[in-house]
Structure 1
């Protein structure tokens, strides 16, 4: 009877060792996946920052062009008033 209990205990220990080994492998894979995801996130954040800078630059240029168009319209209006 004691031998049966010892064999059962040995079997449980082997199962636990295997489970521990499997968990360690899964943990290692998850850590690699996490590092890769963090690297992709950092790369995407840099892309987003570049797009925001580009967007701000385009916005400034468009505002400048609109200001120049407004000046042209005002100049044309004042020219028409002077001639009219």
Structure 2
């Protein structure tokens, strides 16, 4: 009877060892996935900063062109008044 209990205990220990090995493999895979995800996130953050800077630059250019258009309209208005 003691040998049966010892065999059962040995079987459970083997199962636990297999389970621990599986967890270690899964943990390693998850750590690799997490590292890759963090790298992608970092790259995405860099791209977002670039896009934001481009947006700011484009907005400034559009505002400058709109200001120039406003100046042209002011000149046209002054000519129309002078002709009257």
Q: CA RMSD of the aligned region, Å?
A: 0.5
Q: TM-score, length-normalised on structure 2?
A: 0.98
Moved over 6 A (4+): none
Q: Which residue of 1 aligns with 2:24?
A: 24
Shift of 1:83: 1.3
CA deviation profile, 1:28-57 (whole Å, cap 9, x unmatched)? 000000000000000010011000000100
Distance apart, 1:82 and its partner CA:
1.0
Structure 2 residue runs of 5 or longer lacking an equivalent are none
How far apart, in 1, do the equivalents of 2:68 and 2:82 lie?
Answer: 21
1:30-41 alignment, distance < 5 Å: 30-41=30-41
TM-score by length of 1: 0.98
